[in-house]
Amino acid sequence: MIVVIQRASEASVKIEGEIKASIGNGLMILLGIEEADGQEDIDWLTRKIINLRIFPDEAGVMNKSLLDADGEILLISQFTLHASTKKGNRPSYIKAARPETAIPLYEQMISSLEKELGKSIGTGEFGADMKVSLVNDGPVTIVIDSKNKV
């Protein structure tokens, strides 16, 4: 799994012109799932996301976690994170998980994040054409690949 984590002062996702979910202070996360991903990736990424110290403390130093900051999460599935651009100019998405694999893992990731955060999170809709808006606070953007944890 690959995640692109962006610290946000606000973020939202629209589907067919209607706001599906929005957050204030927190993290807007793009999630890419590949066929080899599983529960171990979900567990590891959940702990990493919830405890990542990227929110400012009283001195303005990035020293607080999402829990410390009482932040929210907006999670958006995005298969294009697994694009291969090695050959030619048309990206290949062969590593991206097919919906029958990706949808259950996406739903498990939602549940895992909600459990650890202790509240509901905002989400997009798997496979939908979404319009995502974000005010990136900082800007702070971090990319994490669960396959590179060692």
Q: Which residues pair with 56 in a beta bridge?
A: 62
Distance between CA atoms of residues 36 and 17, nearest Å: 34
- Tens of pLDDT, residues 56-68: 999 999 999 999 9
CATH topology of domain 2-148: D-tyrosyl-trna(Tyr) Deacylase; Chain: A; (3.50.80)
Residues of the chain with pLDDT under 70: none
CB 73 within 8 A of CB 26: yes
The pLDDT score that the predictor gives to residue 149 is: 79
For residue 79, indicate whether it is catalytic: yes
**Which residue among 46, 79, 108, 126 is the active-site one?**
79
Structure tokens at 127: 């496979």
Q: Where are the domains of the chain?
A: 2-148
Show Cβ contacts of residue 16 under 8 Å, excluding neighbours closer than 6 positions: 129
pLDDT value of residue 112: 98
Long-range contacts of 107-112 (CB under 8 A, 24+ apart): 108/39, 108/42, 109/1, 109/31, 109/42, 109/45, 109/46, 109/75, 110/75, 112/42, 112/43, 112/46
- Catalytic residue chosen out of the listed positions 6, 46, 78, 123: 78
From 80, 108, 126, 141, the catalytic residue: 80
pTM for this one? 0.95
Preceding omega of 139 cis (within 30 degrees of 0)? yes
**The pLDDT value given to residue 146:** 95
Per-residue pLDDT at 8: 98
